[in-house]
Structure 1
Amino acid sequence: MNKQALTIAVAMAVSTMAQAADSEGNLVIEINRGLPQLETTVRETTTGVQASPVSDGGELLKSLTGVSGIRMGGRAIDPVIRGQKETQLNILLDGGYIHGGCPNRMDPPTAYTSVESYDRVTVIKGNRTVVYGGGGSGGTVLFERDWPMIDEKGYNVELAGSYEGNGDKGEVGFDAAMGDDDTYLRFIAHHSEAQDYVDGNGNKVDAEYESDSNALLAGIRLSEHTTLEASVEKSGEEDVEFPGAMMDSPFADSESTRLKLTHDFRSSPIQYLRVDLYQSNVDHLMENTTMEAPSTSDTKGFRVLLEANAADIDWTFGVDTQNNDRNAQGNMVSSGAAVFSHWPGVAIDQTGLFVEGEKALGEDDVLKAGLRYDRVDASASRANEAFGMGGVNTPTNLYNQKYGTTDTDSTEDNVGGLISWTHRIDDQYSVETTFSRSVRTADATERYIAKANMMGMGAKWVGNPQIEPEKHHQLEVALASNMADLNWMLSGWYNRVDDYILRQTVSGDDIYRNIDAELYGVEFEVTYQLNSNITLGSSLAWLQGNNEDGGTDLSRISPLELTNSLDYVLNNWKAGVEWKLVDAQNDVCLSDSSCGGQDVRATQGYGLVNLHGEYTLPTGVTVAMGVDNLFDKFYTLHESRDYLLDSDPVQVAEPGRNVWLRLSGRF
C-alpha cells in the first residue's frame, strides 16, 4: 500500500464527522481526531449535530460529543471542550483570530460567527497540531470559507430563513457569488433577532437581541497555481440581554479584514505555500443602571505556512504572530467618572515558529510529530493610572495588595509539541496514541483585570500580572472500528496540568493563582446502518477535573452525557429523533464555599427528546421543521452562569419546548 492510500485508510478509521460533505453548498462540520491536514479531509456521517437553527457558533458546537457551553443569555454561548474553555481553545474565523471586547465573556469569538456564512467547521479535540497557534490544549476550532463553486450560469444565490416559536426568534441569510474558475465576488448577509424565551417551568428568561453581519469576499487566480483572496466583514449586535452577567450590552461591533495567498509549487520539495494576514477590531459596551463599561479589543497577525516532502516525510512548517491590544474601564452612569479598570492598556504579543512531520512506516503505521516555540510579551501601559475617588484604585496598587508585585511586564518562552502513532491492526480496527505538551499563556483578564469599587474597598476582581503559563501534558489512546454498517470509536485521555490558572474567590475577592491539576475522560461514539434508510447512533462523554493542590474538584466540569438517535432517509425525505440523557453533577467547587470556585450549584440531571424532519422540493428548496425539548423539561447546563431566580442561585435556564421551521434554497 502506498503512503497516500495508507494515510486515507487510517484517517477513515480514526476520524469522525458530524455532518457529511455537501456539494450543494451546505455547511460541513468535521471532528478530526487523527492526522489533521490542511488540504485532505475525510468526511463521515455520525450523530450529534443540532438540527434546529442556532444563534451562533457556540450553540452549534455544544451539540457535539465532548463539547458543552456556558450560557449567559439568548446568544454568545461560550464553548467548552473536554472541560477546557476560553483561551484554552484556539478558535479561528476564516484564518484569523478575533478576541472579544468584554472582560466578562459576553462576546467570545464564536459570538461573531453567523454559522450560515461559513462553508466548513473543523473541530480538532485536544492538542493534535501545532499549526494554528500556541496553547490550544483543549482543542482547535476552524470556521472556514472556501473558494465558491459557481454554476455555469456564472452566479449562485443561497437563501435561508428560520423561525423559532419559543422566543419569537427569526433569522434570514443571503449568500450570493458570481464569477468563474479564475475570479469570484461573494456577498454574505445575515440578520437575526429574538425576544425573551420561556424555560421549562414557564419562567421568562431575558434573552432579547438583534444581530447583523455582512461580508464581502473576492478572489482571483493570479496564475494556474496561485490564488489571492481578500475579505471585509462587519458584524453588530444591539440591545443584547445577559441575565447571567447582571449587565446588558447595548452594542458590540466588530470589523475584520483578511488576506490569503496560496501557491502550489511544481517539481520542488516545497509543495505548497499559504499566507494569511488578518486584523479585527471590536468595540463593546456593557451596562446596568449604575455602571457602564466601554471596551475595545484590536487583534492583528499573520501566518506563513509551507508544506514540503523530504526524506519521504510530509512536512508542514512556518511562522505566525498574534498581537492583541485591549482597553476597558468601568464608569459611573450618573457622573461618567472612571471607577476601575478592567484592562488597563493591555498588550499581549505572541510570535511562534512551528514544524510538523508525518511519515508512513510500512503499510500499517503512520508516525506524526510536531514542535512549536512561542515568544510572549505582555504589558499594561495604563497600570499606574488612578481610578475612583482619592486615586486609590490604580491597577498597580491592586496587584501589589493581592500578589505583592508592581511589575506588570512579562516575557515567556514557551515550547510545546506532540508525537502521534497510528497503527492499523487489520482491515477493521485501528488504534492511535498521541502524547502532547502545550503551553497556554494567561489572557488579558487573568493577567491584568483590576476591578474594585469607587473607594477601593469591598469586593475586587484582580488579575495576576506575573502568573505562570499553563503546561498541559496529554496522553490519548483511541480505538476505532470501521465496517460497512457498523462504525465506532472509543477514546480515553489524561491531561496533567502544571501551573493551571485557577480563578478563585477568597474572602469575597476573585484572584488568580497557579495550581497543579488533572483532567481525564472517556468518549464513545457508534453508528449502525440498520438498512438503507435507517441509521442508529449513540454517543457518550464523561470527564473529571481535579485540583491536585487543594484536593477539590475543578469548576464547570461537564457531567456524564449519553445521546441516542434514530435517523430515517428516503429519497427527498429525512426525519429523526434524538434522546439526550445528562447525569447530575455533584462534583463541584462552589463559589460561596471555602473552595472558592466558579460552580453555581450542584446540578440536577435531565432527559430531553428532540424531533426533526425535512423535505427537499423538486425546485431544490428544503423545508425543515422540528420540536426541541418535546416534553418541555426545565434544565440548565452545569457550566452556565448564575442567575437569581426566587432568591436561589441557579444557572441561566435553557429554553423549554421550542417549535421551529427553516427554509433554504440554492438558485
Structure 2
Amino acid sequence: MYERAGRFRPAALTAALAAVLALPAAAETAAAGNDDEAWTTEAVVITALAPSAALTIETDPKQPRQPVPASDGADYLKTIPGFAVLRNGGTNGDPLLRGMFGSRLNLLTNDGTMMGACPARMDNALSYVAPETYDKLTVIKGPQSVIWGPGGSAGTVRFERRAESFVDDGARGSASALVGSWGRRDAVVDAAVGNPHAFARVTANRAESDDYEDGDGRRVPSRWYKWNSDATVGWTPNADTRLEATIGAGDGYARYAGRGMDGAQFRRDSAGLRFEQGGFSGALQSIEASAYTNYADHVMDNYSLREPDRSGPMPMPMASNVDRRTSGGRIATHWEWQPVTVIAGADHQRNRHRERNGMGVDTYAALPWTPDARFSTTGVFVESSLGLGDAQRVVAGARADRAAATDQRTTTGGMMPMPNPTAGQRRRETLVSGFVRFEQELAAAPFAWYAGAGTVERYPDYWELFSADTAGAGTVNPFSAVKPERTTQLDAGLQYAGAKTGAWVSLYAGRIDDFILFRYGSGGMMGTTTMVDNIDARIRGGEAGVSLRPSAGWKLQGTLAYAWGENRSDGHALAQIPPLEARLSADWARGAWSFGGLWRLVAAQHRVAIDEGNVVGRDLGPSQGFGIVSANAGYRFGDAVRLTAGIDNLFDRNYTEHLNLAGNAAFGYPADPVRINEPGRMVWSKLDLRF
C-alpha cells in the first residue's frame, strides 16, 4: 500500500500566489456568530478565516466549513492559516501552529484544561472536543498573552460556550444533522430554557464514520465513533452576578492505520463551576473565578477494531488502560483607570496519571492501577493596556509560575522492566514569561499595524518527561535530564480594511533555547526507540490573506501560510515543519442561495530531518505537493432552516499530507515508512435548524 500522491508543480503554486497577491487588500474581520440573530446572505460554508484583532482570530464553530464539518477540535483549526494537523487517519489528529506542537499550544475548553492520557497522544486534548457544541473559538497567535495559563509559546486556543441571558421566560435551541460518504453521520442538539434569574442548557452530539477510501479507491483503516453531552445550570439574580455549574461526559472509539493499537475507549467526565461579579464602584470593574475537574479514561488495544498482527511485535491480544485527572482553577480581576486597563489574577492546575496493562482480551480491567506521574503548576499574572490617544495603545503582560513534577514509577522499560533511577524524585522550577506590544490605527487610511516581543519559559510536559526511552546521550532518564524550553519571539502585522477590499499579514521570528526534540531509532521490543533531547532552534514565517468583493454577492479570498525552522545545534532543518500552503476561495450569495469553491494548494516539502520529530510523529522524508479542489452550496428556508452540501476533493486526487503517520504493518503497509493516504472524493450534506 504505497503512497502515490498527485504531483503539484511549484511553478503552479507560484502563479496562484501571484494571482492572490495581485488582489487589492483587506483585513477580513471574522465576527463570532450569534445564535439569536437571523442568518445573513453571507456564504454559509467557511473556507478560510482571518484576524479580528492583532494576532487574534475569532469564529463560530457551529458554522459549516469545508472540508467536511470537523470531527474534533484539531480538524476545525485547519481552517485557520498557520495551523496544520499531524494526521492520524480519520480523526484525532494533533494540531500544530507554525510548526509548534504539544504544550507549546495552550488548549482550553471553557477556560479549563483537558489533558489526554495516552503516552503517544492518541487521545490528545482536542480529540475530546466536539466543535459544534461550542459557541466561540478564539485563537491568539504567538507569546502575546499571559492570562490563559503557563506555556503557550506558540499560541492559545479557546473553545467557549457563551453566557446565557434571558430577558423574559423563554427557550431557544438549535440542531443539525450531517450525512456523507463512507457512512459519515453527525447529529448535534443545543437547547436552553430560562428566565431573568436562572437558566439551564444542554448540548449533545453523536458522530461516526466508516473507513474511508483514498483517491485510488483503496480502503484506509480509519473507522471512528464519538458522543458527547454537557449540561449547564446557572443563577443570574441581577445583571452583574452570574453563577454557573456544568457537568459533562463523552466516549468513543477510533481505528488507526498508522498505529500498532487502536483507541477502544475515549471516556471523558468533566465538571466545572464559574462565578462572575461586576457592578463595582471605582477602579475595580469585575471579578471572575472558575474551577474545573476533567477526567480521561482511555483504553488502547490491538483486538477490538483489528486482528492482532501475528508476525509483528504484538502477536497476542493486549491492551493498555491509562487515565488522567486534571483539576484546576483561576481567578481574575479587571481594573480600569482611564486610559489604563489591567487584568490581574492567579491560576492553579494539577494532574495525576495512572496506567494498567494486560495480555489477553480485557484482562486489564481486573488489574490494579499503577500511578506513574504527578504534575502541578501555580501561576500569577498581570496584563495591562495603555491607551495613547484614540489610535495607539501599548499592551504588556508578565507571569510567573511555580511548576513541579513527581516520578512515581518504580520501574522503566515496559516489557523488560528495570529499576527506575528517579523513582520518587520531585522536580521543581520557577518560570517567567512576558510580552509587550504596540498597536496603531492610521488615521489617513483604514490601516492598522502592530509589533510585539514575547518570551515564554515552558516546563516539559508528561510526554517529554515520561514517554521517551532515553534522553541526552542516550543513557539518561528523561525525567532527570530534559530542561525547560525558552522561546523568545518577535511578532509584527499589518491590516487594511476597506469597503470592498482588504488584506492582512502576520510575521514572526523566534529563537528557542533548549527546544525539546524527539529522535527515533530502530531496535527494542516494539521495533523503534525514542530519545528526547534539548537543542537550540530558530523559527520564522508568517501568514497573509486578501479579500475582494468585486460586485454584489461575490467574495474572493486568498490566504497563505509559511513556516521555517532550523535545528541550530545540529545545523539542519527542524523536524515536523508544515510546507507552504495557500487557499483560494470564491463565494457567491444572493437571497437564499449561496455557492462556493475552494482550491487548496500545498507545496512540496524538502527541508526535513528524517527520524526526528515529536512524541507522535517524525519526519519520514520529503513529500510531494498537491492541489485539491472542493465545492459547496447552500440554501436558507427562511431564518430557521439551512441546508448546505459540499464535495471535498472534487477530482478524487490521491495524496498524502507531509505531517502524517506511517502505515502500520498490521494493515498490510510495508516495513519502510509510507505515509497514510488522505480521503478521496467525499460528498456531504448538512441540515441546520433553529427554534
Question: TM-score scaled by structure 1?
Answer: 0.88
Q: Write the mapping of 1:513-662 to structure 2, written as runs, cut at 5 A.
A: 513-591=533-611, 598-618=618-638, 620-644=640-664, 645-662=669-686
Deviations 1:588-639 (A, max 9, x none): 111199xx98112211100010101110102621111010000011122211
* 2:512 partner letter: V
CA shift for structure 1 position 51: 5.8
Distance, in Å, in 2 between the alignment partners of 1:521 and 1:198 is 34
Call closer, same or farther: CA 1:106–1:16 in 2, change over 3 Å. Answer: farther
1:512 is matched with which residue: 528, 532, 538?
532
Q: Write the mapping of 1:75-474 to structure 2, written as runs, cut at 5 A.
A: 75-148=91-164, 154-165=170-181, 167-238=182-253, 240-288=254-302, 289=308, 290=316, 291-310=318-337, 312-333=339-360, 345-384=372-411, 388=415, 392-396=417-421, 408-426=425-443, 427-449=445-467, 463-474=478-489
The residue aligned with 1:401 is: none
CA shift for structure 1 position 328: 2.7
* 2:179 partner letter: Y
Contact residue 31 and residue 123 of structure 1 kept, 8 A: no
Tell me, yes or no, if structure 1 residue 664 matches structure 2 residue 682. Answer: no
Deviations 1:112-158 (A, max 9, x none): 11111101111111112101011101111110001235696711121
Distance, in Å, in 2 between the alignment partners of 1:280 and 1:382 is 23
Call closer, same or farther: CA 1:506–1:274 in 2, change over 3 Å. Answer: same
CA shift for structure 1 position 15: 7.8
Contact residue 231 and residue 258 of structure 1 kept, 8 A: yes
* Most deviating of 643-652 and 221-230: 643-652
Call closer, same or farther: CA 1:108–1:204 in 2, change over 3 Å. Answer: same
Distance, in Å, in 2 between the alignment partners of 1:25 and 1:647 is 55
Contact residue 575 and residue 612 of structure 2 kept, 8 A: no
Deviations 1:505-531 (A, max 9, x none): 256531111110011102111111112
Tell me, yes or no, if structure 1 residue 500 matches structure 2 residue 515. Answer: yes
Question: How many residue pairs are counted as aligned between the two chains?
Answer: 630
Contact residue 269 and residue 309 of structure 1 kept, 8 A: yes
Call closer, same or farther: CA 1:50–1:615 in 2, change over 3 Å. Answer: same
* 1:556 partner letter: Q
* Most deviating of 347-356 and 618-627: 618-627
Tell me, yes or no, if structure 1 residue 17 matches structure 2 residue 37. Answer: no
Distance, in Å, in 1 between the alignment partners of 2:289 and 2:362 is 48
Distance, in Å, in 2 between the alignment partners of 1:550 and 1:469 is 19
The residue aligned with 2:11 is: none
Call closer, same or farther: CA 1:620–1:21 in 2, change over 3 Å. Answer: closer
Distance, in Å, in 2 between the alignment partners of 1:277 and 1:234 is 17
RMSD: 3.1
* Most deviating of 152-161 and 314-323: 152-161
Where structure 1 has 5 or more consecutive residues not aligned to the other structure, the ranges are: 1-12, 397-404, 453-458
Distance, in Å, in 2 between the alignment partners of 1:438 and 1:207 is 37
Deviations 1:205-254 (A, max 9, x none): 1111221111111111033311001110101013x101122211111101
Distance, in Å, in 1 between the alignment partners of 2:83 and 2:286 is 33
Contact residue 474 and residue 496 of structure 1 kept, 8 A: yes
* Most deviating of 654-663 and 177-186: 177-186
Contact residue 16 and residue 43 of structure 1 kept, 8 A: no
Distance, in Å, in 1 between the alignment partners of 2:207 and 2:439 is 44
Distance, in Å, in 1 between the alignment partners of 2:683 and 2:413 is 52
* Most deviating of 371-380 and 108-117: 108-117
Call closer, same or farther: CA 1:525–1:385 in 2, change over 3 Å. Answer: closer
Call closer, same or farther: CA 1:222–1:465 in 2, change over 3 Å. Answer: farther
The residue aligned with 1:4 is: none
Contact residue 295 and residue 328 of structure 1 kept, 8 A: yes
Call closer, same or farther: CA 1:309–1:285 in 2, change over 3 Å. Answer: same
Distance, in Å, in 2 between the alignment partners of 1:365 and 1:249 is 51
Contact residue 33 and residue 135 of structure 2 kept, 8 A: no
* 2:465 partner letter: R
Contact residue 343 and residue 449 of structure 1 kept, 8 A: no
Contact residue 600 and residue 649 of structure 1 kept, 8 A: yes
Distance, in Å, in 2 between the alignment partners of 1:63 and 1:335 is 39
Distance, in Å, in 2 between the alignment partners of 1:246 and 1:18 is 42
CA shift for structure 1 position 287: 1.4
Distance, in Å, in 2 between the alignment partners of 1:176 and 1:43 is 20
Distance, in Å, in 1 between the alignment partners of 2:231 and 2:382 is 33
The residue aligned with 2:8 is: none
* 2:419 partner letter: T
* Most deviating of 304-313 and 647-656: 647-656
Deviations 1:186-212 (A, max 9, x none): 111111111100011211111112211
* 1:538 partner letter: G
CA shift for structure 1 position 421: 0.2
SS at match of 2:481: coil
Question: TM-score scaled by structure 2?
Answer: 0.85
Distance, in Å, in 2 between the alignment partners of 1:512 and 1:232 is 37
Distance, in Å, in 1 between the alignment partners of 2:115 and 2:280 is 38
- Structure number with the bigger relative contact order (C-alpha 8 A, sep ≥ 6) is 2
* Most deviating of 178-187 and 580-589: 178-187
Percent of aligned positions that are identical: 30
Where structure 2 has 5 or more consecutive residues not aligned to the other structure, the ranges are: 1-25, 303-307, 309-315, 524-528
Distance, in Å, in 1 between the alignment partners of 2:550 and 2:607 is 38
* 1:649 partner letter: P
Call closer, same or farther: CA 1:444–1:592 in 2, change over 3 Å. Answer: closer
